[in-house]
Every structure is written in structure tokens, then in C-alpha cells.
A and B are shown apart, each in its own frame.
Chain A
């Protein structure tokens, strides 16, 4: 059993809530007390069905009505194959930053299209966001098939149109599934009403889709915390550099280099949770001891000698501006590259990306406001040991923090070193 993270996107009323509710309900992930509450609410709302599945997850509408905050909400369910983490994200353009938050860690983006309305502005925007964030899989769920009597041609028209649009985007894997969330067709089991459809049901897809394999297996490790252990018997101090392996493999005895100082040394001990191991991989938390007494600290990177990473003070990146206050050229920023922070400056806005067409706009580069996506040049005080996002999804990312307010004002992916 492993974990799959996904988020659902689409227009208001395309059936997002009904679809998620259907998945949770049909996979028997809902407690009886919650079903009771919802049955009661469905009756109050005068729904003709006994159970309005949208009420299970319809964060947004309920929240707007009750004046509760609109934000990403996380939901969980599991089958025998996988634990699923759903980020329920608001789809409106004014919530682009929330969508970024929910989508950033996703393995799959489910984009819903209402078969009657077809591809809309939001479909395009959400697809562009998925491509900027490098989401490994995009699943186009064409919903409300019941409204067209489960006809194949209505479905293939939309698939063809989406394929044309997606050609211009940098999406890795795109799949298509016809469903009726309302009637539960093709959600958990393959639907008999869709004999022409040869693929799997939605749940089968989610249970089997591959989580990302890194395209680059260069070894990357950043120090999160330095622990000094004083042996009570000998008073001897050992220093452990603890952190997560971001990609690749580390072995006991590896010749390594500590960046940015470029000090060569050797891994003299490799531990996983206080147990010596010979080897550890991406995702493992490890404690390293080094042969030399090196004054390395939080944010320093340790890489095998033969897999050097680039040290740079200047990067080009695609960023989404997330602060209510627009960017000002004099703004003092801090870049947080995983666990490494240093002062930074946006020295130039190269272009704005039109979020509906994915086209660069070179004419309005003097400012940057909430939810806008731009390509920029960033200069950093200390060099950062980075990879491009294309090469390494774990290390080609960063956030920007305002030095005065301490707010997270932007998130970005690196596409070029200078």
C-alpha cells in the first residue's frame, strides 16, 4: 500500500463535489454519523435524492453561505491498495494561490469537464497551472455523461478538442475518463452504459496510476538540523547532519562535497532512525557523520563528488505572486530553497504568462500582482545549490518571503541558471 495525492479542479457546477463525495461514499469511507447529518441536510434542501453527495465535500458553497473561510481543505480515504489524500481546492481565479497550495504536492490533477458545457476558460487555466507545477498526471474527467445518453461522439469531440489545446502545454501524461458522478457510472466500477469505452473506472485509475519516477537520479541531500551528541560515558561529541534525501541514493563511505563551501570529505556513518545502514534512498530521513570536522550547518547541501550540483547566484524562474500587496522593485525578499534561506532580489520581470492562453506578455512587466504568473530573474546573496525543475522536481523549487512582513509572497520553479 502506498499514498496518492490528487486534487480536483473544474468550473463551479461541473460536479467536483459530487464526484469526490461519490468516491468517498462508494469506497465506504464515510462514517455513519456524518451520513446521518448529510441525509438530514439533503432533506432540508429539498433534494429529490435521499443523499446529496455534494454535501459531503462541498466546502466552497457551504463555506460561502456560512461565512466560513474559503481555502484548501484536505480529505482522506483509503482502499486496500492506497491511501488517498485529496486537496479540495477552490477553482475561481481569485483563489489561484490556494490552488497552487493544494496542487503543489499532487501526483494527479483531476480536471472535470461538464459534457454539455465543454472546455471552458477554467479548464484551460487549471491545465496551465498543472503544467507549471509539473503535476505528473492530468486526468480529464468528462462528467454528466448521463445528460448525453452516454454517447461516444460527444465524448470524443471533447477529447479531441482538449488534445489540441494540450499540445501547446508541457503536460507529462494526460488521460481521459467519461463518468456520471451523479449516477455513479464509471466511478468505482466500469460502467455497462459505456460499452464503447475501453479504459478503466476512475477508482481503478487512481489505484494504479504510477507515482512519479524521478527523471534524474542525481543524489541530493540538504541539512535540516545539526545534532551534537555527547556520549555520557566518554564525553565524546559526535555531530550528526540530519535531513531528508531529496533524490538519488547515499551510501556509507561515499566521497562527498559540502556546498556551498565545496569541502571534500567522506560519509563515515549513515544512520536511519538511530540504526546504521549501508545505503539510503530518496525520501529517507538520514543522519550523516562526516570524516572531517566540518562546520556545516542547516541549509548546506551534501552531494557525491561525481554528481556536483550547480552553485548559482542568479536564476531564471517561473513564479506565482501570492501576496495581496503587489510586488515593488525595492522589496526586500528572502528566498527559501527547501531548508536554505538567503536574501534575494527580483532583478527583472521578463514576461507575464497569460493564464488563459499560456502566451507570454512582454509589455506589462513593470509590476506583478496577486495570482499573476511571471518569468523573472532572481539574484541571491548566497549561492544556492539548485537544479532546474525539469531535471529535478524536488530541488528545482523555492518560495519567496517578504523580509518585513514575513509572509510567503511567491512560489517558483527554476528553469535556467545564469
Chain B
């Protein structure tokens, strides 16, 4: 009997979860952020459902602070696979709900994006959203189930998590509730890159080394210079040779100095660079261990 690579096991687990989502729910959606994790989800969905159509649209919550390269890549990808994409903008939510926009030197719309997501779920009556979160990202996620039930307000109640035994997923919900499903929960950052290499998955070019105008923050992180920043005289902009380990908003995703040109280069770099992915790149997570758990309780993805 052929022996399986560990990536085959992770892949089959993820696809099994996607099939459970497709089989159990009426109106699923796949949340597409434009980052490598959600690009992998799309790849897995192709393996699961081709030659048939995806039983769900891709949904992108557009904060308005995206890297243009990521948006171009998104449109190209959707074109290639011929699936449906729904885009909803945080800017529209701010206007409609009369919210106060993010401010500060590096304005983050992370909190605002929750409203847009919840409005979108309501608009399309999605009963489940597939997401690319991984348990190795940080401590609160490490405890989250594969099928995570949210209440009317999108809130996660860690005290009321359902037991999840074997790989039997209970997706039954009450009126007003919906589910977030995480097929790649058990993948680490390195697993993702190994999979991208094996499957030859294409990524936006900002994951690889390039020259970019950057601004250094007080704690030493490098932020892409863009029109969304509110800089003052004390900041100086310089050119750096950088790449991104995660791709989120331009205002709150830091770049790392790197000469990695290929996926193989990146894998080698991760193996020796021993800084956790979030520690290196997310400005907003440095606050406290409980920060993430709080944010998730409030409906953040």
C-alpha cells in the first residue's frame, strides 16, 4: 500500500471538513482575505468539488486598506477558476452606520471590519462561513473548535463550545446562529508553505522579496508607506528590501527584511528565523494574551 505524506493527511482532513460544510448547510460562504491561507482554501475547494462548481461564493470583506497587488491577484484568481466573488466594503458600512473611522498614525480597520462581515452574513443569510484560521496562530485560536458556533452578534462563547469528538462535526444551529468552519485548523505556517511548494500554488508577489518604501514604527516594525498612514515629521521613509509573511491591511501588517525569491527560500528562512508569524507581523496583537480571545468574543473572525 502506498504511504502517504503528512501533507496528504492534512489535505484530506481539510477537504473532509469542506465536504461536511457543503453537506450540512444551506448557504455557505468562503471568506477570502487574499492572504496565503485563504488562497490555500480555494485550492483545497478546487480539489474537493472540481469539475463541479463550488457550493459557495467567495466573500471578500474589503477594508479599503488592501495592498493593490493583493486585489489584482484576487480578481485574476476568480477569473481563472470561474467562481463567484462577493465584495463588501468597510467604507460603505462606515457611511451607512455612521461609524467613526479608524485614526492614528497606522489606522486599523480590523474592528470595523466585523460590522461589515456581520452585515454581509445577514444580507446573504449565510449560515456558515469557511475561514482560514489556524490554531498555531496564537493561544485563543488553539482552543477553538473546527465548527465554531456564533450567536446573532457573531460572538464566540468559549465557555459554551460544543464538544467535538473524533471528526464528527455537528453543524446544527438555532435560528439566528451561524457557524465559522476552519478546515486548516491543524496546519502550521510551515505546513502551509510546504503545501504551497508541493502544489505549486501561485501567490501575490508581495510574499516574495521586493523593494518598498517603508516607515519604521516605535517598536522597530517596518510598515509599508501608503496614503493611508498619517505620518508626521519625525517619521522618515526609506527603501527596504522586504517581503510579507502575512498579507492583511497595509496599515497594520508589517514587512520583514528578506531576500527570499522563491517558496523554497521562504521555507528555509522560516526554519531558521524563529519568530512566530504573529509576533513578527501583526501590530495589533502585541497587546495581551487575552486580547485575541476578547476580540473573538466580539465577533472578529
- Chain A interface (Cβ within 8 Å of chain B)? 1-3, 28, 30-34, 59, 62, 66, 68-69, 71-76, 78, 82-83, 85, 97-98, 100-101, 104-105, 224-225, 227-229, 240, 242-244, 273-274, 281, 283-285, 298, 322, 334, 336, 338-339, 397-399, 401, 405-408, 411
Q: Given the complex, which residues of B lie within 8 Å of A71, measured CB to CB?
A: 143, 158, 161
Q: Given the complex, which residues of B lie within 8 Å of A284, measured CB to CB?
A: 12
B13-21, B87-95, B259-267: which one contacts chain A? B13-21
Contact of B276 among A2, A34, A78, A244 (CB under 8 A): A34
Q: Are B166 and A274 in contact (CB under 8 A)?
A: no
Given A74-B135, A406-B172; A228-B52 close (CB under 8 Å): yes
Contact of B163 among A227, A334, A411 (CB under 8 A): A411
Q: List 28 A-B contacts (CB under 8 A).
A: A2-B9, A31-B274, A33-B276, A66-B289, A68-B293, A69-B161, A69-B293, A71-B158, A72-B143, A74-B135, A74-B185, A75-B142, A76-B136, A100-B163, A225-B19, A229-B51, A242-B49, A244-B16, A273-B47, A273-B48, A285-B12, A285-B15, A336-B170, A338-B168, A397-B168, A406-B172, A408-B165, A411-B168
Cα–Cα, bound, A404→B55 (Å): 28
Q: Known pairs A227-B49, A285-B47; list 5 more (Cβ under 8 Å).
A: A101-B165, A105-B166, A224-B20, A274-B46, A411-B166
Q: Given the complex, which residues of B lie within 8 Å of A398, measured CB to CB?
A: 168
Per the 8 Å Cβ criterion, residues 133-159 of B in contact with A are: 135-136, 139-140, 142-143, 158-159
Q: Are A3 and B293 in contact (CB under 8 A)?
A: no
Given A97-B163, A244-B12, A408-B170; A73-B22 close (CB under 8 Å): no
| B162 within 8 A of partner (CB) | yes
Chain B nearest CB from A319 CB (Å) reads 11
Contact of A83 among B6, B162, B274, B279 (CB under 8 A): B6
Q: Given the complex, which residues of B lie within 8 Å of A82, measured CB to CB?
A: 6
| B122 within 8 A of partner (CB) | no
Per the 8 Å Cβ criterion, residues 240-259 of B in contact with A are: none
Q: Are B19 and A2 in contact (CB under 8 A)?
A: no
Chain B nearest CB from A31 CB (Å) reads 4
Cα–Cα, bound, A166→B53 (Å): 52
Cα–Cα, bound, A202→B3 (Å): 25
Q: Given the complex, which residues of A lie within 8 Å of B140, measured CB to CB?
A: 68
Given A66-B289, A283-B4; A76-B165 close (CB under 8 Å): no
Q: Are B23 and A2 in contact (CB under 8 A)?
A: no
Q: Given the complex, which residues of B lie within 8 Å of A69, measured CB to CB?
A: 143, 158-159, 161, 293
- Chain B interface (Cβ within 8 Å of chain A)? 1-6, 8-10, 12, 15-16, 19-20, 22-23, 46-53, 55, 135-136, 139-140, 142-143, 158-159, 161-168, 170, 172-174, 185-186, 188, 190-191, 274-276, 279-280, 289-290, 293
Contact of B52 among A28, A76, A227, A397 (CB under 8 A): A227
Chain B nearest CB from A38 CB (Å) reads 12
Given A224-B23, A285-B15; A105-B167 close (CB under 8 Å): yes
Q: Given the complex, which residues of A lie within 8 Å of B135, measured CB to CB?
A: 74, 76
Q: Which of A30, A31, A228, A243 has the most CB atoms of chain B within a 10 A radius of its CB?
A: A31
Which chain B residue lies CB-closest to A99? B163
Given A71-B143, A228-B52, A229-B52; A399-B168 close (CB under 8 Å): yes
Q: Given the complex, which residues of A lie within 8 Å of B276, measured CB to CB?
A: 31, 33-34
Contact of A334 among B158, B172, B290 (CB under 8 A): B172
Q: Given the complex, which residues of B lie within 8 Å of A339, measured CB to CB?
A: 20, 23
